Structure 1
Amino acid sequence: MPAASGRDVGLLLLRATIGVIMFGHGTEKLFGWFGGGGLDATGASFSKLGYPASRVFAAVAGVTESLGGAGLALGLLTPLAGAAVLGAMINAMAVVWHGSLYGDNGVEYEVLLAVTGASLALTGPGRHSIDHHLLGLGEPRWPVGAAAIILGFVLAAVVLLIRG
């Protein structure tokens, strides 16, 4: 078995960074950690954004971001974790989009997180991951990553359709 490469270390750095960021976003929503408002305040914000059962959707967003972030950081079920980040960020883009990629109402941050989630779903976690070391999962074949990405898009669309 060849030694870990710069690619593996690069994937670890990318996964860990995006994973920690997404985990933080989710736990802000769920528990008020890191200066977040917690579930009640997030639910109130979701209500203003047009989500029915806003506290439930706030919980769904928080769980999706937390688990997706933790999965990426650990390299655990990486295609699904990447899809979770992608789906959460599609919804975030839909509610903050004001016609510009950049600026005060831009979505460049959300686009970066979404594309990173999708990219990691396709590339896999690299060797420094639970997928590789404990689960024995090799690099995912591109159809697995593509299926995960499709799942992220479909579930994001369902949430947005419910939002109306």
Structure 2
Amino acid sequence: MNNRRVVDSGLLLLRLALGTTMFLHGAQKLFGWFGGGGIEGTGQFFAMSGYPAGTAMAVVAGLAETLGGLGLVLGLLTPLAAAAVVGTMINAVAVKWSGGFFAPDGVEYELLLAAAAAALALTGPGGFAADRAVPRLRGAAPAFAVGSLALGVLSAVAVLLVRG
């Protein structure tokens, strides 16, 4: 196996693990699957955490996690999918910040998810990805990756400013 295939396999493994995790988290929020609160329960949590329009924020977070996770699993629009994950994790870190660093109350898990997503945005999805079938995305410019991450961070900051 040549080095490129090893790297592509590693990126695929990372995308599958992170993407599946985020997809399932989003499904908990949107549909109440896997013991999640669904939109109603998640909306109540968001409202108690200081977000206005908790139900709307639950839908936004659920869609970002579900679609971002699916995009990572498929390796489709990878920088944007990763940016969606980074944005939701920035908000998760802000909500849990007072719990310190270590789990279960701290932010170590959320920081790890955000860092993994940012790394995938910057490195690209690898060779085993749907992005490889789209000529314009095949070697997406670093500017697209950085711009996508900036969009995710700025969106997260805007939501946090609304939270107050």
- Kindly state the Cα deviation for residue 125 of structure 1 after the two structures are TM-superposed: 0.6
> Deviations along 1:7-32, whole A, 9 cap, x unmatched?
00110000011000000000100000
Structure 1 counterpart of 2:128? 128
1:1-164 equivalent positions in 2, closer than 5 A? 5-98=5-98, 100-133=100-133, 135-136=134-135, 137-164=137-164
Q: How far does residue 144 in structure 1 lie from its aligned partner after superposition?
A: 1.5
For the Cα contact (< 8 Å) 1:26–1:64, is it kept in 2?
yes
For 1:62 and 1:129, locate their aligned partners in 2 and report how far apart those are by CA, in whole Å: 23
Q: Which 5+ residue runs of structure 1 have no aligned equivalent?
A: none
Cα 1:140–1:103 change in 2 (3 A) is same
**1:31-87, Cα deviation, whole Å (9 max, x unpaired):** 001111100000011111011110000100000000000000100000000100000
Unpaired segments ≥5 residues, structure 2: none
Aligned residue pairs, count: 162
What letter corresponds to residue 82 of structure 1 in structure 2?
A
Determine helix, strand or coil for the equivalent of 1:40: helix
Deviation at 1:103, TM superposition (A): 4.1
CA distance in structure 2 between the aligned counterparts of 1:28 and 1:103, rounded to whole angstroms: 20
Which amino acid is the alignment partner of residue 5 of structure 1?
R
SS at match of 1:5: helix
2: CA distance between counterparts of 1:93 and 1:120? 19
